[in-house]
A = this chain, B = another copy of it.
């Protein structure tokens, strides 16, 4: 442990001055002679003196550390969110303590306990896929630690939220597929305990309904990754009543569908249209390039951090819950007509 670090007391002893003199010299106080100040500052520099943030935190009963829990890190959306959070944290002078749930309820609970014990001044989180109970988040609120949920929010806890406009994004994508002549539109989504899945499904269903297209339950699958999408899409494409379009909740799934569709030699987009959701680098690297609903993870991260910092600085002032909605944008490329 870094116990070789020198303290203000050590400096005072070495230079035979008082602790308060050292403290004032280090704070560049005007009521001290230039010579003493210089002597103390020089000694501190030479001996690598650093203010002890741990001790300062204890003294002020506050920390400048914000806890972040993400489901995973190797993931275009969540790494973009983290990048956006860091932009604001750096600008506002906060440090980030990082936790990862790996979509496990148990790990998420453990992370929350660690964050309470670490006395972070606020928490940003997107809930795990497994999570259906929220008592651990309530404990943050009970401990007077502000929480902002982003993307995968928890509606049962009174707190600020930053969400992607999932409903509008899914509605726009599905309507675009309908307007370009598709009628049997398959929908690949994540488990429905997540609000984002419910909202994206809502947008899909409302677009069908608006255009008088009946819902075919066989076209709706719980499938949200590249590897699973390949066999599921292959089976659908080989069925008698095959779809003429696919809309997937993320780009990885859409690219799995694209792979299966190309493998079966269907013409894209003439016979089959495909639309994803995210707009990561892989959407541009794919051939044909993927049409997708663009969502800015960095905007989500920045907004969530900004809402949290505001909440930390004005504790008590704001009983209102703020919801920030980040707009999506349909990016038409080559996998749709």
Give bound CA distance, A80 to B100, whole Å. 13
- In the assembled complex, the Cα of A148 lies from the Cα of B282 at a distance in Å of 32
Report Cα–Cα, A60/B57, bound state, in Å: 16
Chain B CB within 10 A, most for which of A61, A262, A312, A315: A61
List residues of chain B with CB within 8 A of the CB of A58: 54-55, 58
A267 at interface (Cβ–Cβ under 8 A)? Answer: no
- Note all chain B residues with C-beta closer than 8 A to A51: 117
Report the minimal beta-carbon distance from A168 to chain B, rounded to whole angstroms.
24
Chain A 117-156 interface mask (CB, 8 Å, partner B; 1/0): 1111100000000000000000100111100000000000
**Contact assessment for B86 and A79 in the assembled complex, using a CB-CB cutoff below 8 Å:** no
Query: Which one of B50, B83, B98 contacts A113 once the chains associate, using CB atoms below 8 Å?
Result: B50
The answer to the question of A20 belonging to the interface, with a C-beta cut-off of 8 Å to chain B, is no
Contact A98–B100 (Cβ < 8 Å): no
A119:B65 contact, CB within 8 angstroms: no
Of the listed stretches A67-75, A176-184, A241-249, chain B binds A67-75
In A1-50, the 8 Å CB interface with B consists of 1-5, 48, 50
Kindly list chain B residues whose C-beta atoms are within 8 Å of the C-beta of A65: 97
The answer to whether A61 and B121 have CB atoms under 8 Å apart is no
Contact A53 B117, CB 8 Å, known A83-B72, A86-B73, A287-B286 = yes
Is there contact, CB below 8 Å, between B255 and A285? yes
Give the nearest-CB partner of A68 in chain B.
Answer: B98
A275 an interface residue at 8 Å Cβ cutoff?
Answer: no
Q: Does A209 contact B (CB under 8 A)?
A: no
A6 CB → nearest B CB, Å: 10
Complex interface: chain B residues within 8 A of A98 (CB): 68, 82, 86, 96-98
A286: which of B63, B143, B285 is its contact (CB, 8 Å)?
B285
Pick the contact of A287 from B100, B252, B262 — CB < 8 Å?
B262
Chain B residues with Cβ below 8 Å from A68 are 98
Also in contact, A2 and B119, with CB within 8 A (given A139-B48, A286-B286): yes
- Nearest-neighbour CB distance to chain B for A63, whole angstroms, equals 7
Q: Which one, B74, B100, B114, B144, contacts A2 given CB within 8 A?
A: B144
Is A193 an interface position by the 8 A CB rule? no
The reply to whether the CB of A90 lies closer than 8 angstroms to some CB of chain B is yes
Q: Chain A 78-118 against B: per-residue CB contact (8 Å), 1 yes, 0 no?
A: 01101100100010000111111000000100000110111
Q: Is A271 an interface residue (CB 8 A)?
A: no
A76 within 8 A of B: yes
A96 and B97 in contact, given A73-B79, A143-B2 (Cβ under 8 angstroms): yes
Identity of the chain B residue whose Cβ is nearest the Cβ of A258 in the assembled complex:
B285
Shortest beta-carbon contacts, A-B, top 8: A287-B287, A1-B62, A282-B285, A4-B144, A53-B117, A79-B79, A73-B83, A282-B282
Task: Name 9 interchain pairs, CB-CB below 8 A, sorted by A.
Answer: A1-B119, A1-B121, A1-B315, A2-B145, A54-B54, A73-B82, A74-B80, A82-B98, A282-B282
Interface residues in chain A, defined as those with a beta carbon under 8 Å from any beta carbon in chain B: 1-5, 48, 50-55, 57-58, 60-63, 65, 68, 72-76, 79-80, 82-83, 86, 90, 95-100, 107, 113-114, 116-121, 139, 142-145, 226, 252, 255, 262, 281-282, 284-287, 297-298, 312, 315
